[in-house]
Structure 1
Amino acid sequence: MNPELSPYSFPMTWRTPSALKWLIVKHSRLQGTLITLEREAQALQEKIDAQRTRIADVKGKLTAIEQTLELHEIKIDVSDIAPVIPQTNPSTYRHGEMTRRIYEALKISDDWTRTACIVELASGITRESTEAAAYDEVRRMFRRRLRALFASGKVERQLKSGSKDGSQNQSLWRLPRT
């Protein structure tokens, strides 16, 4: 009987050295990263191709309009026409949503309320929970809307002057009393 095939002996196993295991794992992860990057590159290439198609379409339409302008009896130099760049920043709130949230916040508070409190009640954003720049932008949006509502008589405004510690003036807001 062959001693290597004896049922009483254990098969010999090789222990993988740690450096080799590290290389194998590193290779495996890099292969996965490569596959992910190739998928992303393919998706980006498709977007680039779609964008190039849109560019060609717009250029074709622009050329057609320029040719039509040349046919008009009043001559216009197309190089004098300034381009209007469309707005690319998406709205934070849908149309009318900010106003509805402001009204709800003012109904909840039911008295003179600071702008910061309205921002917190309407959006859930506080200076402590958000980056300073993002909070300032949201607060500025709410202040602009509150001022427009004040100008149209939809809300009342009370200017609270700064205290002795040098703080700035604050606007207090509420719904008109009927």
Structure 2
Amino acid sequence: MNFCSNCGAAVELRIPPGDTLPRYVCRQCTTVHYQNPKLVVGALAQWEDRILLCRRAIEPRHGFWTLPAGFMENDETTAQAAARETAEEARARIEVGELYTMIDVPYISQVHLVYRARLLDLDFSAGEESLEVALLREDEIPWDQIAFRTIGMTLRYFFEDRRRGNWPFHCTSLALPPPAP
């Protein structure tokens, strides 16, 4: 950050009085600019024994498969974000269920939340950010083409939990970035 979004003056990185972490502080109006993690919210939408997946038409990970998910917007709940992202990426309608996974991704300052959901009908198609969408059974999922580790983890939890008939909430952290290609 170089300039204050409040007055346009230059900012400097320093620890403001009463704080413990460096923040961007405006040299002119003294506004403290806090930068906090982003929430990525999605849905694990199920139809019978299949899961709705989207093949990404955007970077990062263009051409790889993911659950419909994206950044939460202001003025919406996390459940609303999951439904909106599913509608945008897969043009699908869902009934949002319980929060299923919460995965901290601190090395990119994100928290990924995925809800279990029920697909309401089979009227879906690729949205602007998807090359294609598909309902896939566990043995049809292209595991080596999953876009993000958090999505792979969520899918693995789901299929393990389904086999056990138990649906716990999964909360974990990815402390390290993925290995370089």
* TM above 0.5: no
Q: Which has the higher helix share?
A: 1
- TM-score interval for Structure 1 and Structure 2 normalised by the shorter chain: under 0.3
Which structure: larger Rg? 1
TM-score when normalising by structure 1: 0.25
Higher strand residue share: 2
Name which structure has the greater RCO, CA cutoff 8 Å, separation 6+.
2
